[in-house]
Amino acid sequence: MTYKKEELNVNDTRCIVYSCNSPKYILIQPVDEHDIKVLDREVELISNDAGENFLLFAFKIYDWNNDLSPWNAPAVFGKDGFGDGAKNTLSFIEDVLIDCICEKYQIKNDIPIILGGYSLAGLFSLWSSYQSSSFNAIVGASPSVWFNGWEEYIDKNSPLSKVIYLSLGDKEEKTKNQTMARVGKAIKKQEELLKNNGIKTILEWNNGGHFQDSDIRLAKGFVWCIKNI
C-alpha cells in the first residue's frame, strides 16, 4: 500500500498526514520533533502488519508538559512542572481535527478512530478515553502512568473506549527517580482495572528502557487496535 505524505496547518498547528484511497481507520497521534523524525518508519511498520488501509494524522505538540497533562502536577525531572492543557488538546481533536480530516479526505464521520501516543502523549490518550466517546480504540505506548494522581483517577473513573492497548519497556521502572519508578506497578494496575471494566486490553512488555523504539512500539499498538476493534 502506498501512502501519500503531506503537511498542513490546522489552526496554526503543524500536521503531518499519511493518506490512502478509501481508508478504513483514522489514526490520530500527538507528536514531538523526535516522533516526527520516525513517522515514516512507523507508518511503514503499521502498513506491513495491519493489512488494512488507514489514514494517520499526526499533529505537533508545542508545550509537551502543559498540552498533554490532565491536571497540574509538580516537576519530576528538571524544573518544569506540568500544566492542565489536556482538555484544550482534546477539544482541538474533537471540535476541529476530526471534522477537518473527514471533510478534506472525504471520509464518513462514522469511521473508526484510534487515538494513540507515546510517553506523556500515551497518558493523554488514556485520559482522553475516560473523557470522550469519540475514540473506538486507544494506544498508550510506554504511557506516563507514574503521573501524580493518575492511580487515584483511574480508581474512580471508567473509560469510554472499549479497546485499549498498553505497553512498557521492561527497564522503565528501573530508575533512581522515585516517582517514575512507580510506572511498572501503575501500568499493571491500569491493566487490571481495564479488564475489570470489561475493556478489551493487552499489556505488552518491550525490551529496554523508555527512550528507544518509540516508532516500533507505537506501530505495534496501532496494529493491535486495528485488529481488535
Range of the domain at 220: 4-228
pLDDT at 211: 77
What value, to the nearest 5°, has the Cα angle with vertex 209 and ends 205 and 215?
75
Query: How do strand 25-31 and strand 113-118 relate by DSSP bridges?
Result: parallel
**How much is the pLDDT for 77?**
75
The yes-or-no verdict on residue 15 having pLDDT over 90 is yes
pLDDT of residue 74: 87
How far is Cα 31 from Cα 113, in angstroms, rounded to an integer? 17
Largest CA distance in the chain: 50
CATH number (domain holding residue 29): 3.40.50.1820
- The tally of domains found in the chain comes to 1
pLDDT at 178: 76
Bridge-partner residues for 82, per DSSP?
73
